[in-house]
Amino acid sequence: MKLVRFGEAGDERPGLVDREGKIRDISDAVADIAGDVLSPEGLARLAALDPSDLPLAPEGARLGAPVAGVGKMLCIGLNYADHARETGKEPPAEPVVFGKATTAICGPYDNVEIPRGSDRTDWEVELGVVIGTRAKYVDEADALSHVAGYVLVNDVSERRFQSERGGQWIKGKSHDTFAPIGPWLATADEIPDPQEMDLWLDVDGERRQTGNTRTMIFGVAHVVSYLSQFMTLEPGDIIATGTPPGVGLGMKPPTFLREGQVVRLGAEGLGEQQQTMVQA
């Protein structure tokens, strides 16, 4: 299934995408796409619905992030060797973990704000993992059984805030709108192999990033298992798994986003996003 949330920001309704690509309203079946709805049992109930019996969403409705009530947004840094090297760092021996404030989450077509005082706002196309069942001290062999599905993420970053303002990366990762997610949540059965997915990103129509998840240093199962050794992962938590090479920081000279520019990105099986840059 492809699950979405549609409507004005803060007032989204749950939906699913039917075989014709139309959005069907499932709010009579579930209150939102969150919590127990993401469990195998919850997803099975949604899969049993007949889309033709469900009302259509309004034509042209805004899409919000496809998961509600996200408790944690965790990110893996430098998870593609070529990306690590383009930023001047060596590939890590263990996953580099940082957080992104949940207030950064927005819809896949919402505007992205360039923060006040920013001159290094950057793009990062990523595969996102949505947890479906509680995961604590899980083995790598069992890790994917805790995954409800996958989403497309733009891990927008302010590089000066991230690296030159002291402390943790979270400061450069958490401005409002720095986590566009969607357009849909593809349930795990829709993605045969999360380690075989093409990713791409364009700025103003020019290709900047092209990659495949097969080149991750630490795969999805390893990342889920690894994180579960340090904290309990709850349904609705999202993990952004890292970006392939081609970010603005790695260009020669480094090139960053400006007001009015348009970023478009996509991933195999996860659809496409588009954002216009605006000043905060």
Q: Average per-residue pLDDT in the chain?
A: 96
What are the tens digits of pLDDT across the range 163-202?
898 878 999 999 999 999 999 999 999 999 999 999 999 9
91 pLDDT above the threshold of 90: no
- For range 21-26, the mean pLDDT: 98
Instruction: Map out the domains of the chain with their CATH numbers.
Output: 65-279 (3.90.850.10)
Residue 73 Cα distances to 105, 127, 240, angstroms: 9, 13, 8
Share of the chain above pLDDT 90, in %: 94
- For range 86-104, the mean pLDDT: 92
Are 135 and 141 within 8 A, CB to CB? no
159 pLDDT above the threshold of 90: yes
pLDDT band of residue 90 (cuts 50, 70, 90) is: confident
Q: Which two tokens stand for residue 196?
A: 């075989």
Share of the chain above pLDDT 70, in %: 100
pLDDT band of residue 276 (cuts 50, 70, 90) is: very high
What are the tens digits of pLDDT across the range 201-255?
999 999 999 999 999 999 999 999 999 999 999 999 999 999 999 999 999 999 9
Distance (Å, rounded) from C-alpha 222 to C-alpha 198?
19
128 pLDDT above the threshold of 90: yes
Closest listed residue to residue 157, CA positions, set 142, 168, 148, 169: 169
Residue 150 Cα distances to 92, 165, 181, 253, angstroms: 24, 32, 10, 34
Number of Cβ within 10 Å of residue 268's Cβ equals 16
- For range 110-120, the mean pLDDT: 97
